[in-house]
A and B are shown apart, each in its own frame.
Chain A
């Protein structure tokens, strides 16, 4: 067998590919569901925390900064392993999906809070003064005047964070969540052939390449004019 034939037979074996395609497709659905759940939870919690911080309620500030620091510093895989392997020792068991979802959502929330907060800070202080002097309440100024301007600025950095953290769904494979990577690598060892891994890789490209391109376009659109 020539080298090329051997390469094709091991990485692009049609028989193996056909056999494992349905399982990879199921894994794709899990990855997609988990990814969407993480994005919705993480962005919502992050925005909520940034708003809370902007309302300048005493003591909340330090708690929010502490939360954001801890979950930006800890590697996501460490958080998943703490939730999945350490918490059961105190009677708090959760399944692989919940552990992965919760970990990645906490990480995304921490980064999103910082991005939204930076956006809020970057809106000129005069806007606050103007809104308040028009008789708007603190909350209304934030909602009607500050946030709409702040959120525009946060779109490109937030998109990049969302992509990189959503790719972390692959970490669920470590706690045996049946997402793409997990079914692909167990398929590869079962079949004694890496074709399922190739399928898995293609599945990730199908899911994430559009995101990466979308992020690129956003960056161009929102780029500072030279």
Chain B
């Protein structure tokens, strides 16, 4: 037990690495705050495209979504980060990470929004248009609010996945929480920084998991 604490939760090491991990935690939050709104906006556009009247626009959106859902996000990130310099396109780390995550998350958010829009009866749009609303207004005031409400549990669940996704940035040494924890582990020859980082992720994400469960059960009950 003594040794277990020494290597897994050594108080001296916790004190030493805490500021460094906290810095990484800040970057994780910043990265999430960048990728989530971008992904939501891109997803919404994709959903509007995949429910568009034109077959070509619909098809294009579907190809995009299927393509980026089939790619593991890490593959996308490595491709952008290590492949683009061969085209003499130098990308800052943050830009490569943000682009890779955007392509991945927007396709997932897109599918969710599409399901939401399709869950609204066509009559709603017809009613809105016949009342003199423009299509744009109908989407904004009638269709989308109901669509979002219908798929709220999936949106929360995907947002959880996006925050978990940010750990992949450690592979290209972006100094987020997991990256800093691994560096600290290598410097201290001790597992404490990794365990501490895992606990920090748990503290951040567990409330979202609870919220997700709550929403899902509520959803099930109102069906």
Chain A residues near B (Cβ < 8 Å): 6-7, 10-11, 69-70, 72-79, 81-82, 85-87, 89-90, 114, 118, 121-122, 163-164, 167-171, 173-174, 180-181, 185, 188-189, 193-194, 197-198, 200-201, 204-205, 208-209, 211-213, 216, 224, 226
Q: Chain B residues near A189: list those with CB within 8 A.
A: 82
Q: Cβ of A73 and Cβ of B201 under 8 Å apart?
A: yes
Kindly state whether residue B18 has any CB partner on chain A within 8 Å. no
Residues of A within 8 A of B197 (CB): 78
B45 at the interface (CB under 8 A from A): no
List B residues at the A interface (Cβ < 8 Å).
3-4, 7-8, 66-67, 69-75, 78-79, 82-83, 86-87, 119, 121, 160-161, 163-168, 170-171, 178, 182, 185, 190-191, 194-195, 197-198, 201-202, 205-206, 208-210, 212-213, 216-217, 220, 223
B195 and A86 form a contact (CB under 8 A) = yes
Q: How far is the CA of A188 from the CA of B209 in the complex (A)?
A: 38
Specify the main secondary structure of chain B where it touches its partner.
helix
User: Do residues A197 and B79 form an inter-chain contact, with CB atoms below 8 A?
Assistant: yes
A188–B201 contact, CB under 8 A? no
- B82 and A73 contact, CB distance less than 8 A: no
Q: Is the CB of B69 within 8 A of A212?
A: yes
- Which one of B4, B79, B87, B208 has the highest number of Cβ atoms from chain A below 10 Å of its Cβ? B79
Contact B8–A171 (Cβ < 8 Å): no
13 other A-B residue contacts (CB within 8 Å) besides A70-B206, A204-B75: A75-B201, A75-B205, A77-B167, A78-B198, A85-B191, A89-B7, A90-B3, A90-B191, A118-B217, A122-B220, A205-B67, A211-B70, A212-B69
Per the bound structure, the CA–CA distance linking A89 and B81 in Å amounts to 32
Partner of B72, one of A10, A194, A204: A204
Q: Which of B3, B86, B191 contacts A10 (CB 8 A)?
A: B86
**A201–B86 touching, CB < 8 Å:** no
In terms of DSSP, what is the predominant structure of the interface of chain A? helix
The reply to whether A90 and B4 form a contact with Cβ atoms under 8 Å apart is: yes
Cα distance A192–B223 in the bound complex, in angstroms:
56
A213–B182 Cα distance when bound, in Å, is 37
Q: Are A193 and B86 in contact (CB under 8 A)?
A: yes
Contact B78 A185 (CB under 8 A): yes
Please, which residue of chain B has its CB at the minimum distance from the CB of A31?
Answer: B72
Q: Which residues of A contact B3 (CB under 8 A)?
A: 90
Give Cα A9 to B208, complex, Å: 46
Across the interface, do A81 and B182 meet the contact criterion of CB distance under 8 Å? yes
B164: nearest chain-A partner, CB-CB:
A75
A172 nearest CB neighbor, chain B only? B74
* Distance between Cα atoms of A185 and B79 in the complex (Å): 9
| 9 residue pairs from A and B, CB less than 8 Å apart | A11-B83, A69-B210, A72-B209, A78-B167, A78-B198, A171-B168, A194-B82, A204-B75, A211-B70
| With A81-B182, A82-B194 as contacts: A69 and B87 at CB distance below 8 Å | no
Judge whether A205 and B71 touch: CB under 8 Å: yes
Determine which of B8, B160, B170 lies in contact with A86 in the assembled complex, contact meaning CB atoms within 8 Å: B8
Give the complex CA separation of A192 and B166 in angstroms: 28
**What 10 A-B pairs come out closest when comparing CB atoms?**
A86-B191, A170-B72, A75-B164, A208-B70, A73-B205, A167-B72, A75-B167, A89-B7, A194-B83, A10-B86
A201: chain B residues at CB < 8 Å are 71, 75, 79
Measured CA separation A7–B88 after assembly (Å): 10
Q: How far is A188 from B85 in the complex, measured between Cα atoms in Å?
A: 12
Contact of B74 among A70, A118, A171 (CB under 8 A): A171
Q: A95 → chain B, closest Cβ, in Å?
A: 18
Query: Contacts A76-B164, A78-B198: A170 and B191 contacting too (C-beta < 8 A)?
Result: no
